[in-house]
Chains A and B, each alone.
Chain A
Amino acid sequence: QKEVEQNSGPLSVPEGAIASLNCTYSDRGSQSFFWYRQYSGKSPELIMSIYSNGDKEDGRFTAQLNKASQYVSLLIRDSQPSDSATYLCAVGSQGNLIFGKGTKLSVKP
């Protein structure tokens, strides 16, 4: 059974701080890795994708991938109250796209 694990949280950070979200996966054959943001009652929205080891930056977001450790992370710099949501890690391999349970992030003004 392929698994994707995340801390369920809630993770609470003050406005302007860095939020760090982590994810581990079980399938060594996984090839693609994604972070989605989901607001309550809404559908998931893609915020980052990463396919190779290392860091990928997009604005305030940085995704980090370490395939040897089977570990993916998302850093959110200068966190804003509007970043408060559930963040879902997803891992893909040959069509199969598995999600973690999500980490609920709360950014306090």
Chain B
Amino acid sequence: NAGVTQTPKFRILKIGQSMTLQCTQDMNHNYMYWYRQDPGMGLKLIYYSVGAGITDKGEVPNGYNVSRSTTEDFPLRLELAAPSQTSVYFCASSYGGRGSNTEAFFGQGTRLTVV
């Protein structure tokens, strides 16, 4: 059972480049999330989605875009990468029944460095 799968695990980008972080889940979860975690810090919510076709901004959305065309996939797009986007990125998903968050499960993370 795969759970939440993120790719790539590591990436180095040059300033101004773009990339897409992939996230897919096979648990038929409604809710999906993207977080970033800077060294020694907690998780900051970038974007989240409560179902296919629905996305919403979290705490730190600037510089990122998302889409949710299917239940399974929730890619995160970085346009014009900046050093401030150097971080570890986590994708997560949860069932989200009755309009409430249920337990979220995390992918392995993507360690991104912008130089």
Q: A62: CB under 8 A from chain B?
A: no
A101 touches B42 (CB 8 A): yes
Chain A residues in 8 Å Cβ range of B42: 6, 88, 99-102
Complexed CA–CA distance, A44 and B94 (Å): 14
Q: Summarize B's interface: helix, strand, loop or mixed.
A: strand
Complex interface: stretch among B16-24, B79-87, B97-105? B97-105
B90 touches A95 (CB 8 A): no
A44 touches B106 (CB 8 A): yes
B109 touches A43 (CB 8 A): yes
- From B49, B96, B102, give the contact of A49 (CB < 8 A): B102
Classify chain A's interface size: 20 to 34
Classify chain B's interface size: 20 to 34
- From A31, A34, A43, A95, give the contact of B48 (CB < 8 A): A95
> 5 A-B contacts, Cβ less than 8 Å apart?
A43-B109, A44-B90, A46-B104, A94-B50, A101-B41
Listed in ascending order, the chain B residues whose CB lies under 8 Å from chain A are: 31, 33, 35, 41-45, 48-50, 56, 58-59, 90, 92, 94, 96, 99-109
